[in-house]
Amino acid sequence: MTETGGSVAPVAVTGLGAVSAFGRGTRPLAEAVAAGRPGFAPVSRFDVTRRATVHAAALPGDPRLADELISVIEDACRQSGLRPRDAADVPLLLGLHADPQTAPVAARVAQGISQRCGLAGITRTYTCACVAGSTAVAHAASLIGSGAAERVVVAAGYLVEPDMFAVFDAGRALTRGGRPRPFSRGRDGLLLGDAVVAVVLESTASARKRDADVLATVAGWGRSGDAYHVCRPIPDGSGLARAIEDALGRAGVGPAQVGYVNANASGSQLGDGAEAAALRRVFGDGPGLPAVSSTKSVHGHALEASALLEFAVTVLALRDRILPVNAGYLGPDEDCRLDLVLDGPRPADTGYALSVNSAFGGANTALLVGAA
């Protein structure tokens, strides 16, 4: 919770850029998740003949991560109206996988965004796995909310590549059934997906002054740890529940005001069940549960970019007033009793939605998104 213990001013989202398996731009992504149309196909980017799983949600060809990051950051800045001459003091927070390519990719991005967007460089690179992007958004919102920054750009990227594909395959984290089935009976693993995403966040006062188009707001945020296991989530969902409660508390928003949750669920046995337990801890176990879907069922798991991708999907859902589908569902699982969006997109009639994520190490984040 914040020091004041009260609600904080919402932070405006004024720019979005995205690349996903569905193509470049946010429109193809929004259409795919609304329709529950999965983007999985056999991988052609590299050799998968030695792998037990061959599917992922990937763009055609072999896109370069740094180039795509520069491109989506430019898109987000353009939509936001952030001109290069005004961007020199705007922090950029980046989410990337931690490996020997982290620093070289970051250096190429820094050079590109300096030339094309006027941003001075990368302020910080987050490498905390599947919560990298959401941790960056939380920090950005904190910077803006406290007055330390007027605008912040957050970007994250992961493109399906041979090494993580192989190690996830070796660890049997990937489903061999060709598509993931979050929260479903018979779920048996995730599939990886491409995502490169950028958002521009700014104070509502700044957005108002510029007469900027506000897509949505970051109304609250929370981060917590399970303190339970190297990679297994705490089964009762208490860690994620604390992150959600902190996000709600920061915003001064009650659980009943939340109409949609974009879930972390990847299609794993214990992870999905623990997340459902967390949501029931916060929202109760009866009528009144918010609608829930995991759009990983459509765009796949984008690792370090997953949380920012799902935040973008949540923003688009509120903007378009359409709740995305939880695709791949085969039937109910007693551990995952939730109000899932199943048969088709559902009209969104809510002022608030949550984007929640969990990662190895028991890391949890919750971002409360407010309708514009």
- Site residues (CB under 8 A) for other proteins, limited to 287-346: none
Please, which of residues 72-101 interact with other proteins by CB under 8 A?
96-100
Using the minimum distance from each CB to other proteins, give the nearer residue, 120 or 372.
Answer: 120
Whichever of 75 and 161 has its CB closer to other proteins, that residue is 161
The nearest distance, CB 36 to other proteins, in angstroms, is 20
| 330's tokens | 């085969």
Closest contact distance (angstroms) between CB of 316 and other proteins is 26
Which of 42, 60, 171, 254 touches other proteins (CB under 8 A)? 171
What character string, x for contact with other proteins (CB under 8 A) and - otherwise, covers 102-121?
Answer: xx--x---------------
Contact of 113 with 70, CB cutoff 8 Å: yes
- Binds other proteins (CB under 8 A): choice among 74, 75, 169, 310: 169
d(CA 88, CA 17): 19
Q: Name 199's bridge partners.
A: 16, 154
Pattern of binders to other proteins over 135-164, x per CB under 8 A?
Answer: x--xx--xx--x---------------xxx
Residues 349 to 368: which contact other proteins by CB under 8 A? Answer: 359-363
Q: Least distance to other proteins from the beta carbon of 1, Å?
A: 5
Give whichever of 260 and 311 is closer to other proteins, judged by the CB atom: 311
Contact between 261 and 310 under an 8 Å Cβ cutoff? The reply is no
List of residues 6+ apart from 188 with CB closer than 8 A: 175, 176, 177, 181, 267, 269
What would the x/- binding string for other proteins be over residues 191 to 230, using CB under 8 A? -------------------------------xxxxxxxxx
Nearest distance from residue 169's CB to other proteins, in Å? 7
Interface with other proteins in residues 268-287 (CB under 8 A): 268-271
- Residue number, 194 or 246, with CB nearest to other proteins: 246
For 312, phi then psi, to 5°, come to: -60, -40
Specify the residue for token string 């599917």: 55
Q: Cβ of residue 97: shortest distance to other proteins, in angstroms?
A: 7
CB 25 within 8 A of CB 13: no
**CB of 202 vs other proteins, minimal distance in Å:** 18
* Backbone angles phi and psi of 205, in degrees to 5: -65, -45
Residues 6+ apart with CB under 8 A from 174: 52, 53, 165, 168, 189, 190, 191, 192
| CB 221, min distance to other proteins, A | 9
Whole-angstrom distance, CA of residue 33 vs CA of residue 298? 6
Burial of 62 (C-beta count, 10 Å sphere; 0-12/13-18/19+): exposed
Q: At what angle do helices 238-251 and 269-283 cross, to 10 degrees?
A: 40
d(CA 200, CA 14): 6
Work out how close the CB of 28 gets to other proteins at its nearest, in angstroms, rounded to a whole number: 28
* CB closer to other proteins, 241 vs 338: 241
24 binds other proteins (CB under 8 A): no
The only residue of 267, 300, 328, 370 in contact with other proteins, by rule CB under 8 A: 267
What is the dihedral sign for C-alpha 218, 307, 64, 154? positive
The interface region with other proteins, picked from 58-66, 132-140, 277-285, 326-334 by CB under 8 A, is: 132-140
Number of chain residues interacting with other proteins (CB under 8 A): 71
- Amino acid letter for position 214: V
Q: How far is the CB of 17 from other proteins (least distance, A)?
A: 22
Q: Which is nearer to other proteins, 123 or 295 (CB)?
A: 123
Is 173 a binding residue for other proteins by CB under 8 A? The answer is yes
User: What is the phi/psi pair of residue 289, to 5°?
Assistant: -60, 140
Q: Which of residues 43-72 bind other proteins (CB under 8 A)?
A: 50
Q: Examine residue 126 and tell whether it contacts other proteins (CB under 8 A).
A: yes
Burial of 83 (0-12, 13-18, 19+ CB in 10 A): exposed
